A and B are shown apart, each in its own frame.
Chain A
Amino acid sequence: MDLSVHIGALTLKNPLIAASGCFGYGVEYADVVDLSTLGAIVSKGLFLKAREGHAAPRIVETPAGMLNAIGLQGIGAQRFIDEKMPELRARGATVIVNVCGTTIDEYVEVSRMLADTEGIVAIELNISCPNIKEGGIQFGCSLNGTFDVVSAVRKVTRLPVIPKLTPNVTDIASFARSAEEAGADAISLVNTFLAMVIDVETRKPKISNGMGGLSGPAIRPIAVRMVHECRQAVKIPILGMGGITNARDALEFIIAGANAVQIGTANFVDPFIWPKLLDGIRDYGQRHNIARVSDLVGTVARSHD
């Protein structure tokens, strides 16, 4: 089966992408997986400056999932370029950067810096982190804000621009449309669902930030529904994610309308997951006689046919 994926002018060798914040800066996993075999890796969220993030505890496990409020700890764009990109280039990784900002100017500046760096192939705009007050969610929760960030970054780079949408809105398809109208080359969805876990003995939240973002298998059916809704609303490619743990899950997103898929939480559980996913997708292609994975995108059958 032809596994290649097209996002604007960009071609990925397969549809498997390591999700932002779940793969460090990529270099952490170089011992475990051949980075050049992944469709792409997405960096941890990058601001202009380094950030220390929230106090521990930062995660708590939930039924079939986890809640996190890391607080976008990170080394900032320049150190990423200087300290991480040389190794990522040497290892043949296809790098998408996850760009954060507290203002439109910051998104533009960070995007400009990174877009000029050899080896970076696309910009994912994080307008959807639920865990910090001034980290883009104010853009991602407003149709005009989404439009404004995307069109501002669109003007300063020729790389594909991929806003990452939050599921914490009533009608995610309208946000997909806003992104498309502003010139996005693709959209990523979903980021985590704002959620809370309370220790009833102490009545305290179980993570230091109080609330956090829910990820993992628990969110998968909602994420699949959202990808399906966005597929109906826009023509641009979709990078779908939310609780993928095996090839069947990945295929579910592709059939719902995703051109590629991202894997986050499942990589924590099984860092050797990548070749297993690829084998499973190939195997499905053979069983169903499908020549190209792209032929599967958005092919949900009517339920009563």
Chain B
Amino acid sequence: MPIDIAARVLANRPLSSDYNVLALAAPAIAAIATPGQFVMVKANAGADPLLRRPFSIFEILRDARGDVTGITILSKRIGVSTSLIYDAREGQRIDCLGPLGRPFTIVEPPTHACMVAGGVGLAPFATLAQALRARRVTSTLFYGARSAAELFYLDFFRDLGVELLLTTEDGSLGERGRIVAPLDRRLAGMPASTGVMIYACGPEGMMAATAKTAMKYGRPCEVSVERVMGCGLGGCYSCVVPMRGADGVVHNVRSCIAGPVLPGDQIQWD
């Protein structure tokens, strides 16, 4: 059952001129959230902008005793709402509804986990990496961005024992090019007897390429889609994704309640 909290901003940490991490006092949401779920956030009172925006739950915050105190969201400034998130002040209240949506499937050892992130699509992987680590699943983060300055939280993942494979479009860190190239090489080199699960989140083109690469090697792949969303609860039918159903027919599926995590091979990519 989702909870709506007028959450106090505990901290707002800019990571770059566009990216920031906003910490919100929402313990009741943090207590029940699972990796891949999201919150619907509204940073202003009043009607302009009117609608909430979906954000993946980035981190679960805990106090010194280990009790949950809130969540963080990772945001990239692209419009009015994300500018309000970027400029939010400590102490300010932000409406936060969640946790919402279907989470990732957490695999068991000896299956190896490949997390594939593009840009702000890193967001769902911090909690996923922790959950995988708790189950002793080995994992690799394939993480691509425009430049080195937009690759964040590398130490966070390193500290969890996650192997990092980085790409940048300008070659300023890691391999130059797109993140699907090293994923493809890695999958090509893995014997069929080794179990692999692929998780992806990022720009549409990157997720499509990741899902197709997974299919090429016959590997399962879950993608966390990001669609324009009106309500987050299944009320408005805005956030649909065309998916091939069990009947072989393509249906428009609401990504807010059937997803945001969906099986990559059933999505009609184009």
Give the B-binding residues of A (Cβ under 8 A).
21-24, 28-29, 31-32, 44, 52-53, 55-61, 63-66, 68, 70, 73, 216-218, 245, 265, 267-272
CB-based contact B235/A24 at 8 Å: yes
Nearest CB of A to B40, in Å: 9
- Judged by a CB distance under 8 angstroms, whether B188 is at the interface is no
Residue contact A56 to B234, C-beta cutoff 8 Å: no
Contacts of B240 in A (CB 8 A): 53, 56, 58, 73
Among A23, A53, A55, point to the contact of B235 (Cβ < 8 A).
A23
A59–B50 contact, CB under 8 A? no
Tell me the complex Cα distance, A272–B233, Å: 12
B208 to chain A, nearest CB (A): 14
Interface footprint category on B: 20 to 34
| Set of chain A residues within 8 Å of B195, measured between Cβ atoms | none
Docked complex Cα distance between A123 and B4 (Å): 33
Q: Is the interface of A mostly helix, strand, loop or mixed?
A: loop
Chain A min CB distance to B106 (Å): 24
Residues of B within 8 A of A217 (CB): 47, 50
Complex: how many Å from CA A271 to CA B100?
Answer: 13
Contact of A24 with B234 at beta-carbon distance under 8 Å, contacts A53-B252, A216-B47, A269-B52 already known: yes
Contact yes or no, B233 A52, CB < 8 A: no
B239 at interface (Cβ–Cβ under 8 A)? yes
B238:A56 contact, CB within 8 angstroms: yes
Residues of B within 8 A of A265 (CB): 50
- Residues in B lying within 8 Å of A, measured CB to CB: 1-2, 4, 42, 47-52, 95, 97, 227-228, 230-231, 233-242, 250-252, 257
List 28 A–B pairs whose Cβ atoms lie within 8 Å, in order of A's numbering: A23-B235, A24-B234, A24-B235, A28-B257, A31-B2, A53-B240, A53-B252, A56-B241, A58-B228, A58-B237, A59-B228, A59-B236, A61-B49, A61-B51, A65-B47, A65-B50, A66-B50, A66-B51, A217-B47, A217-B50, A218-B47, A245-B47, A268-B51, A268-B52, A268-B235, A269-B42, A269-B52, A270-B95
Contact of A268 among B231, B251, B257 (CB under 8 A): B231
Cross-chain contact B251 with A52 (CB below 8 angstroms): yes
A70 in contact with B237 (CB, 8 Å): yes
User: Which residues does chain B contribute within 8 Å of A272, judged by CB atoms?
Assistant: 4
Given contacts A66-B51, A70-B238, A269-B42, contact A60 B233 (CB under 8 A): no
Complex CA gap A57/B250 in Å reads 17
Contact A29 B235, beta carbon cutoff 8 Å: yes
- Give Cα distance in the complex from A29 to B236, angstroms: 12
Whether A64 lies near B236 (C-beta < 8 A) is no
Q: Which residues of A contact B230 (CB under 8 A)?
A: 59, 66, 68, 268
With A and B bound together, what is the CA distance between A31 and B234 in angstroms? 12
Are A269 and B237 in contact, CB atoms less than 8 angstroms apart?
no
Cβ of A73 and Cβ of B237 under 8 Å apart? yes
A31 to B4, CA, bound (A): 12
Q: Across the interface, do A57 and B228 meet the contact criterion of CB distance under 8 Å?
A: yes
